Amino acid sequence: MSENNSERHDHEAGNETSSAGPERRQPTEAELAEMSRDEKVRLGLAQDDVELVEYPDPWPVKGTRAERRAERAVAAWFSLAGFSALAFIGVFVFWPWRYVNPLADERGHFLYSLYNPLIGFFLGLSILSVGIGAILYSKKFMPHEVAVQQRHDGHGSSELDRQTIAAELADAGNRSTIARRSMIKRTAGFGAGAFGLGTGVLVLGGMVKNPWAETGPDSLNHTGWMQSEGEKVYLRRNTGDPHEISLVRAQDLSPGGFETVFPFRESERGNEEALLHALRRSDNPVMLIRLRPGDNPVARQGQEDFNYGDYYAYSKICTHLGCPTSLYEAQTGRLLCPCHQSQFDVANSYAKPVFGPATRALPQLPITIDEEGYFVAKSDFIEPIGPAYWERNS
């Protein structure tokens, strides 16, 4: 029995030896040092059981018109990458980026509206050009070998493997003829360098100027309801005629009714530009709602006096993606956003979201009644309206 086991063990060991192939003699360090790069390449291929079926030179005849045309094409893409990156830097630093009222300066607003598209276009074009140039160089000038490798188990990299791999990489670089293509090297350096510089400008640009340091009327911290010089800000309905001033009284809404209102100041009367701007400014729309008897919403902490009796005013801008919350269900007391189905409960809470993707309550506008019975805003919203952003603290 032991004899059979011994024979079977010897047979299996013999199979393992034969499957690994004949053992090759490893050259000494002195022999490796004396070998040329081509010899190391062939040795490395042999060590890995690789057979080169085809290994043609991409340009066997040097200096042909086709070769020069391919070189110019690669250089053109790298040049385009460099010039696009420089254009991105120029637009990022020098292009007018501050908001311009289209009613006051139509051309200035048009230039302002191009800022984001231009920086995105030039940065994207730079990235695309670098990629296309690298791919084109690989296709036109790198050797395209056809090789067959036998599968075998590896046992880590020896000194022989390291030297032969280095030789193979150096051979690939030599056969790609990059060393003698100064135009491609210069344009590739220009394109990659300019792209790197542009990326650095993009990262550092936000650290040069703090966009939240200014809290003026055009900042995200304020809306068109911002108070100025003690002037009253009335709640005005939009009748379709910007010159018609229709202010809202308490008796205009029945229980369960609602209306979209906009800010109005007496100083704007007769000023067509200011009246249109108040109606068109995206953060101005407010939903004025009169709750039904029996509705008793929970007030938000610090906002207990923002309502006037059963009249509540909430921003019409959804806190999810800025869509208009233009639907109101009087039976359930919910404001609905028709775009993504967010629902805000105004009958039982402070317009807190109860359904849909919105996660933040609608900001409430503090309102009251003046001596003539018109609704007026006591102040601007105490928090930014609309979708959340990183810098907000509410």
Mean pLDDT by groups of 10 residues along the chain of 394 residues: 44 42 68 79 77 77 88 92 92 87 83 92 93 91 78 65 72 67 79 81 73 65 84 92 91 92 92 88 92 89 92 94 89 90 92 92 94 93 82 58
Looking at the structure, tell me whether residues 196 and 298 fall in a common domain.
Answer: no
Instruction: Give the per-residue pLDDT at 41.
Output: 76
**Is position 223 within any domain?**
no
Would you mind telling me the total number of residues written for the chain in this entry?
394
Looking at the structure, tell me whether residues 364 and 323 fall in a common domain.
Answer: yes
Instruction: Give the per-residue pLDDT at 380.
Output: 92
What's at 209, amino acid-wise?
A: K
Looking at the structure, tell me whether residues 174 and 250 fall in a common domain.
Answer: no
**Is position 7 within any domain?**
no
**Is position 390 within any domain?**
no
Does residue 312 contact residue 297 with C-beta atoms inside 8 Å? yes
CATH number where 349 lies: 2.102.10.10
Segment holding 355, helix H or strand E: strand 352-355
- What distance in Å separates the CA atoms of residue 249 and residue 242, rounded to the nearest whole number? 19
Q: Nearest 5 degrees, angle CA 221-CA 225-CA 231?
A: 125
**Is position 299 within any domain?**
yes
**Count of the separate structural domains present in the chain:** 2
What is the full DSSP assignment across 23-71?
Answer: PPPPPPHHHHHH--HHHHHHHHHHHTTEEEEE---S-SSTT-HHHHHHH
Looking at the structure, tell me whether residues 102 and 184 fall in a common domain.
Answer: yes
- What distance in Å separates the CA atoms of residue 187 and residue 74, rounded to the nearest whole number? 9
Looking at the structure, tell me whether residues 285 and 190 fall in a common domain.
Answer: no
**Is position 215 within any domain?**
no
**Is position 179 within any domain?**
yes
Looking at the structure, tell me whether residues 132 and 176 fall in a common domain.
Answer: yes
Instruction: Give the per-residue pLDDT at 176.
Output: 63
In three-state secondary structure terms, 220 is coil
Looking at the structure, tell me whether residues 174 and 298 fall in a common domain.
Answer: no
Looking at the structure, tell me whether residues 239 and 181 fall in a common domain.
Answer: no
What is the full DSSP assignment across 141-204?
Answer: HS---EEEE---------HHHHHHHHHHHHHHHHHTTGGG-HHHHHHHHHHHHHHHHHHHHHHH
Residue 370 lies in domain: 234-377
**Is position 137 within any domain?**
yes
- Helices 65-94 and 115-141 sit at what angle, rounded to 10 degrees? 160
Looking at the structure, tell me whether residues 239 and 357 fall in a common domain.
Answer: yes
Count of beta carbons in the 10 Å neighbourhood of residue 316:
22
Looking at the structure, tell me whether residues 147 and 238 fall in a common domain.
Answer: no
Looking at the structure, tell me whether residues 192 and 317 fall in a common domain.
Answer: no
Instruction: Give the per-residue pLDDT at 179.
Output: 66
- The reported pTM is 0.56
In three-state secondary structure terms, 384 is coil
Looking at the structure, tell me whether residues 183 and 264 fall in a common domain.
Answer: no
- What distance in Å separates the CA atoms of residue 279 and residue 273, rounded to the nearest whole number? 10
**Is position 254 within any domain?**
yes
